[in-house]
Structure 1
Amino acid sequence: MKKFKSIEESQLTITELMLPSHSNFSGKIHGGHILNLMDQIAFACASKHSSNYCVTASVNKVDFLNPIEVGELLTLKASVNYTGRTSMVVGLRVESENIRTGEKKHCNSSYFTMVAKDENGKSTPVPGIILTCKDEIRRYARSIIRQKEGRNRTSRFSTNSFKTEDYLELLAQSNSKIELKD
């Protein structure tokens, strides 16, 4: 196994025509179909980088920015943004293109954390990535910060440390009604 790999070695792009069978009741492409495609390309990118089977550990923030129409071409781009010991963060960008007009829309960006597995299903080390420009350094640093913020968010709202009184003012300004039973 190589100790480090360039980002380009595992980058992938797929393009697929969006069919009526991919649509929801309003005639737009179903979000679940898009998520399935995103998971597939994240798997392929991470597996290519690690030379191992990979599993999805988490998906960070999925915002559907623009609807995707039947008949449009959907392009998904995947790139390893971060490598840990056995995990990788794969950055994804989803764009649609109207075949008739050539208009392109950014539909989604997301980050999938993938973990490499060996033939026994155990987590296995992955090669690091070689950072060659400021954008790659920015993406790598952003992944580190995102992980730290996620850990802080999780611990701040754990059952053992959460203090209701710290959040009552926040909830008072929301569309909720508190009727505590205990």
Structure 2
Amino acid sequence: MSGQQHEVSFRFLAQPSDVNFGGKVHGGTVMKWIDQAGYACAVGWSGAYCVTASISGIQFVAPILIGDLVTVHARLIHTGTSSMQLAVDVSARDLRSGGQRLATSCVMVFVALDSEGGRPTPVPRWEPRSEAELRLQEHARLVMELSKEMQKLIEQSPAPAVD
């Protein structure tokens, strides 16, 4: 049923196979978890197959260690015609001490696609229901504008010379 699920949380136990040589969970593993939770949230809202269009402002704030309980929380913060912006937070909790910390955060954009030709398809409109959700929606609009400005700068910059 589309339009019902506007947030999801996934939980993972950080395992030895998830870490790099420094003993911290690989950034790529964290990005995979973010993409999975974001996809589930976007599909749950739209009721359609969705693809990741962008990930903005990803910040690795604190390391995730072996044995940490990792929670990836994705929530819808803005809808366009066929796109959805999600705020995603990744937190890590030391199960022995109970200490919890924010490890990573970002804003993602997903686009819903139709089943016939894989073309963008409309998504239900999302409206903030609280002051906190209203602030998140405003943040999403700001991130979207900054992303458009960055894209313009990239398009205007000269191509580097290739030797």
Matched pairs, number: 158
Q: Secondary structure at the match of 1:123?
A: coil
Q: Secondary structure at the match of 2:58?
A: coil
Query: Which residue is equivalent to 2:148?
Result: 151
Q: Deviations over 1:105-164 (max 9, x none)?
A: 1001111100001112111000011211111111112211221222223224433xx59x
Query: Which residue is equivalent to 2:30?
Result: 34
The percent identity for this pair of structures is 31
CA distance in 2, matches of 1:38, 1:15: 11
Query: Which amino acid counterpart does residue 19 of structure 2 have in structure 1?
Result: S
Deviation at 1:10, TM superposition (A): 2.5
Query: Which amino acid counterpart does residue 92 of structure 2 have in structure 1?
Result: S
CA distance in 1, matches of 2:60, 2:146: 22
Q: Which protein shows a greater Rg?
A: 1
The RMSD of aligned alpha carbons is 1.8
1:18 partnered with 2:14: yes
Q: What is the TM-score when the length of structure 2 is the normalising length? A: 0.90
CA distance in 2, matches of 1:64, 1:44: 22
CA distance in 2, matches of 1:73, 1:42: 19
| 1:105 aligned residue (85, 88, 101) | 101
Q: What is the TM-score when the length of structure 1 is the normalising length? A: 0.81
Query: Which amino acid counterpart does residue 79 of structure 1 have in structure 2?
Result: R
Q: Secondary structure at the match of 2:107?
A: strand
1:127 partnered with 2:118: no
Matches within 5 A, 1:25-64: 25-64=21-60
CA distance in 2, matches of 1:133, 1:43: 24
Unaligned 5+ segments in structure 1 are 164-182
Query: Which residue is equivalent to 2:135?
Result: 138
CA distance in 2, matches of 1:26, 1:157: 34
Q: Secondary structure at the match of 1:128?
A: coil
CA distance in 2, matches of 1:149, 1:95: 26
CA distance in 2, matches of 1:11, 1:63: 20
CA distance in 1, matches of 2:71, 2:81: 30
Unaligned 5+ segments in structure 2 are 159-163
Query: Which amino acid counterpart does residue 95 of structure 1 have in structure 2?
Result: S
Query: Which amino acid counterpart does residue 90 of structure 2 have in structure 1?
Result: V
